[in-house]
Structure 1
Amino acid sequence: MASKEFLTISIIMFTEVIGWTLILPFLPYYAEEFGASPLIVGLILSTFSIFQFISAPIIGKLSDRYGRKPLLIISQVSTMTGFLMLGFANSLLMIFLSRLVDGLFGSNMTLTRAYLTDLSKGRKRRKQISYFGAIFGFGFFIGPAVGGLLAAINYAVPSLVAAGVSLVTIVLTILFLKETVVVKKKVKITKEDFIPVKDFIYGLKIKSLKRYFTVFSLFSLSFVLVTSSLALFVKHQLGVGPENVGLIMMVIGLVRILFQLLILPRLIDREDIMQLVDAGLLMSAIGMLLVFFVDSMWLLYLIGVLFSVGSGLTRPMIIAEVSELVKKRERGRIMGVIDSIGSIAQITGPLIGGMIINYLYPGYLGIIGGSLMLVALLVELLYKRTEERFI
């Protein structure tokens, strides 16, 4: 794999993560300034994912046919537009629309992952995906902390800075990113290309991927349920502001960087990579169950460490295994299906989290999230036991 291409896509990924993590700590506070309840905040967070569910498989499939680079540029422009709309929002409707615009065409993660898997294979791909996770963690380390501090000045500032960061990614893509998909002939776009459910069902029907998709679905729902509601949880349970949310996310990002750079590369050479997924699911479940007992920021930091390592073991290893099982010409399409699974979780997770905080007790987030993670672990072990019987 050419190091120049990996460096370029790494920088693009880093700036991309910086952009959207800038808005994470303050968005619920921003929405509540316009009178939004926790449930409405959940709806706002879900809006992006509703349109991601529709668009991610379409954009992923189109990138398989027409190239990664042009679709990535379109996606990044959509994200920048969404950030600008959020920065200048003067009503809840504008906040909703800003998330809609970003979700409709902003499939940056789908395309960068597809691009990355084009550049390597086998165990080398696993290592590159683990390094990609460290890059993600580095962005997560800087973005929320800066976003929380900027929000103390004005809630519009993080969004406008995020738009500027998105502009940087567009320039980097145009100037330095090389195409990895060879387009041999022009192919007409048909109405079939714009039916996302068809691609989603197609991916779910691939027998060799059912194990991974099932576990990833449960993991994602649990993960999003807790992380999307973190700002609301901190505000309603501990009574602190967005800068504290940024600090928690900074800790999570720092642990993710150290783990994925120093420890994970030493573990991924093993044959049964799903053992790492099992360990990750267990650690994540323990961290989430501890949320029920949170009465101080210090316990949240400990939970952040467990959660960061657990998710760092789970998500990238599942994606690496899936990428090994599909052909190159379908990777964009299948990465889009993975993102659609994530989008379903991101649609339902914030809504469930908002209802828990609004109508029940914030600590129940951990009980429900941890239980879902344990179910994911149980399903994974049952799949493994079933496969071993037929070997």
Structure 2
Amino acid sequence: MSKKQHSNQTILWIISFIAIVNALGYGIIIPLQFSYVARFGINTFWVGVLFAAYSLAQFISTPIIGRLSDRFGRKPMLAYSVAGTAISFLLMALAHNALMVFIARILDGISGGNISVAQAVISDTTDHKERAKWFGILGASFGMGFVFGPAIGGALSAISLQAPFYFAAFISVIATILVIFVLQETQRKDAREKKPVAKLFDLRHLVTALFEPYVGLVLIASFIASFAFSIFILGFQAFTNDVLKLSPTNISLLFMMFGVIGLVMQGAGLGKMVKKFHEVPLLIMGTVVTLLSFIGMGASNTFTMFIIFSIVLAIGNSFLAPIITALLSKHTKKEDQGGIMGINQSYVSLAQIVGPIIGGVLATISVHYSFYGAAGVLVFMLLLTLIIARESGKHVINL
């Protein structure tokens, strides 16, 4: 292995660690969110508003962070982002009223949109043949956080409800130190953009990106996939609580199962499968498997059937995000990698704002409707992937 290859490997593993830190923080919050914020008089409705506020803040900030990373480099924006996450967790631990909780979560949303920068780092340091593999490893790193986060949060909450947030802040500080003192800048100086600050946040970027050849189709696919999954999550929570009557511990085990399967599929299997089948056929396959899983889960009337379709869902859904990211990267200029990843993450955040609201309405009518609604959305995704397949290879830019 050459010195440059070794350096790139170090960079990529640091980025993977940052992804683990992000997911751990989110995973730690999952088992504690209701009991922790209930102390401040925040009921279930306002918990939903709290998460919507986080997603809205991330929706606005992520493309800005991505654009700034294109102009000033990846390293300073990663340092800002991870440090902001550390401060937000510390504020959560020190919170003594609802306002502080909202400020902490909004701060995390504003500063935590580093996924676009992490993806841009991968684009900077890999060729197009290795890119899908490393996007898969990035997804697997999130999976590790989602596996261990709830377990860590549950264990530390036995000490105090604040302890998990202090721990999350501590590991975020470690990640910040790694970024500042170990991570090397991956973007060439001659590739950095010189755009006026006024255009760093411009909703027209989100709209005009949809009309870019091929990239626009992939962005729409990304939004639809996230929208469907956000609808599903509401149905999943309602079904496991109200129909299956599972305990919080068993629900946590299901989330851990999703994380383990995603970890294996994205970390070990995706790179090999891309080499054999290529990105777009895998995207179609993942969409079909996920769609059928939603239908199967909605029709389930036993715990065993529900678990079987949950496992199938975890396998199929593990393909979607890293494949979409790889396609966006392959069809975008190198100097625009941070920007397009930020725009993509904004559409994901937008889906995560709207999706739970639709899912909640459907679940109010019938808990099964959330699964069927998510499946119906993926029908449009399937049609779109067929169009993407037809257009593949016509607009490849970043080779």
TM-score by length of 1: 0.89
| Whole-angstrom distance in 2 between the partners of 1:112 and 1:337 | 14
Does residue 131 (structure 1) correspond to residue 137 (structure 2)? The answer is: yes
Q: Name the Cα RMSD after superposition.
A: 2.8
Deviations 1:81-103 (A, max 9, x none): 22222233344433322221111
* Counterparts of residues 229-268 of structure 1 (less than 5 Å): 230-231=236-237, 233-268=239-274
Does residue 360 (structure 1) correspond to residue 365 (structure 2)? The answer is: yes
* Counterparts of residues 329-348 of structure 1 (less than 5 Å): 329-348=335-354
| Whole-angstrom distance in 2 between the partners of 1:170 and 1:23 | 20
* Counterparts of residues 150-229 of structure 1 (less than 5 Å): 150-151=156-157, 154-183=160-189, 190-227=196-233
Deviation at 1:68, TM superposition (A): 0.6
| Whole-angstrom distance in 2 between the partners of 1:353 and 1:175 | 44
Secondary structure at the aligned position of 1:268 is classed as: helix
Compare 16-25 and 224-233 and name the one that shifted more.
224-233
The aligned counterpart of 1:145 is 151
The aligned counterpart of 2:382 is 377
| Whole-angstrom distance in 1 between the partners of 2:389 and 2:192 | 43
Of 75, 93, 100, 1:94 maps to 100
The aligned counterpart of 2:287 is 281
AA partner of residue 71 (structure 1): M
Secondary structure at the aligned position of 2:227 is classed as: helix
Of 36, 46, 49, 1:43 maps to 49
Secondary structure at the aligned position of 2:29 is classed as: coil
Secondary structure at the aligned position of 1:363 is classed as: helix
Compare 272-281 and 261-270 and name the one that shifted more.
261-270
Q: Is the 8 A contact 2:362 2:369 kept in 1?
A: yes
Query: Tell me, which stretches of 5 or more residues in structure 2 are unaligned?
Result: 394-399
Secondary structure at the aligned position of 1:179 is classed as: coil
Deviation at 1:366, TM superposition (A): 1.2
Secondary structure at the aligned position of 1:22 is classed as: helix
**What percentage of aligned pairs have identical amino acids?**
28
Deviation at 1:161, TM superposition (A): 2.0
| Whole-angstrom distance in 2 between the partners of 1:374 and 1:154 | 45
| Whole-angstrom distance in 2 between the partners of 1:85 and 1:99 | 9
Compare 1-10 and 118-127 and name the one that shifted more.
1-10
Query: Tell me, which stretches of 5 or more residues in structure 1 are unaligned?
Result: none
Q: Is the 8 A contact 1:115 1:180 kept in 2?
A: yes
Compare 146-155 and 332-341 and name the one that shifted more.
146-155
Deviation at 1:41, TM superposition (A): 2.6
AA partner of residue 21 (structure 2): T
AA partner of residue 220 (structure 2): T
The aligned counterpart of 1:106 is 112
The aligned counterpart of 2:397 is none
Secondary structure at the aligned position of 2:104 is classed as: helix
Compare 148-157 and 275-284 and name the one that shifted more.
148-157
AA partner of residue 368 (structure 2): G
Deviation at 1:37, TM superposition (A): 4.8
AA partner of residue 382 (structure 2): L
Q: Indicate how the Cα distance of structure 1 residues 186 and 116 shifts in structure 2: closer, same or farther if over 3 A, else same.
A: closer
The aligned counterpart of 2:9 is 3
Deviation at 1:121, TM superposition (A): 1.6
| Whole-angstrom distance in 1 between the partners of 2:391 and 2:271 | 29
The aligned counterpart of 1:311 is 317
Deviations 1:281-315 (A, max 9, x none): 11112222233245665555434322221121111
AA partner of residue 343 (structure 1): S
Does residue 117 (structure 1) correspond to residue 123 (structure 2)? The answer is: yes
| Whole-angstrom distance in 2 between the partners of 1:311 and 1:139 | 17
How many residues of Structure 1 are paired with residues of Structure 2 in the alignment? 388
Q: Is the 8 A contact 1:12 1:172 kept in 2?
A: no
Q: Indicate how the Cα distance of structure 1 residues 367 and 77 shifts in structure 2: closer, same or farther if over 3 A, else same.
A: same
* Counterparts of residues 23-38 of structure 1 (less than 5 Å): 23-32=29-38, 34=40, 36-38=42-44
| Whole-angstrom distance in 1 between the partners of 2:210 and 2:79 | 28
